[in-house]
Structure 1
Amino acid sequence: MTPWALALTTGLALAVLQQQLLLRHPPRLLGIEAADTSSGPGTLDLRFSRPMDQASVAAASRLTPTSEHQWLGDGNRQRLLLAPGVRVERPLQVAVGGRDQRGLALAPRTWLWDPRPRIVAVVSVANGEQLQLRDHDGRWRAMGPIWPSIPILEPLGDGSGWPW
């Protein structure tokens, strides 16, 4: 066997071995984040390392306290969507489990998620106006410096925004 053929065969064998090892690894949750506000305030987007079986994710995942919800999505992206009209009184505990499309189990993970909306207001203070955020406990927290005046406020869906 020539050195080139030996090198190509060795490389091919290593690639096949690596592929077989990766196929035996269980799926992982790569990312979890609140979805855009257009999806509703109670929406989480989850990204997995491989395509998941949606029915098994829905069956193995839990919300505490129990709230009406549904799972949407396909492949390695799934979306947890709270039902319209669900009132969230406190943060939710989200336990995510399930199996990928080949039947390998996802290691269950748990997070705290607080989908309750927050109130942003322009508040008159000494020397001008200030943008403030109301926390869930009722306290107001400053979000920036004091401006002489804030005539327009444009809050953005990702939590940012700027007073104009």
Structure 2
Amino acid sequence: LILPVCFSAWNLIVLRTFFMTSVPGELIDAAKIDGAGEFRTMFKVVLPMSKAILAVIGLFYAVGYWNTYFIAVLYTPGLETKPIQVLIQQWLIASTQPAGQNAAAAAAISSGMDNAPAASLKMAAVVCTIIPIVIMYPFIQKHFTKAVITGAIKG
């Protein structure tokens, strides 16, 4: 589920531009003079200065793939390994399918009385799937504008 959609070209371009414009070359040169290798320079100098853009890219990925159910349907074999979005989607489909209609149920469906519970189930599923993103966004919002504007400037 993770590897096929691991990297986005757009997010890599934004990250590269952010690194080029926000991380001073003098700090990288100073780290190299002090004997730091490429990985140590990346983890000890560049990444601590890039918390804002990393939080924003993480939010982009989280929002982009939180409600993705098609990829999970393709790559996961059993019901016990499927994410909650697939289970909710299957539940909604099963709840809107009439099972063994009799005359009274057919009359209720044709009169539109059965549409309200199906719509309520759909809206409840939407609320349940959006809650984690809504909870996560306020913690990342303070970094959002700075990181996106800085990372999107042409270098």
TM-score (norm 1): 0.24
TM-score (norm 2): 0.25
Higher RCO (C-alpha under 8 Å, 6+ residues apart): 2
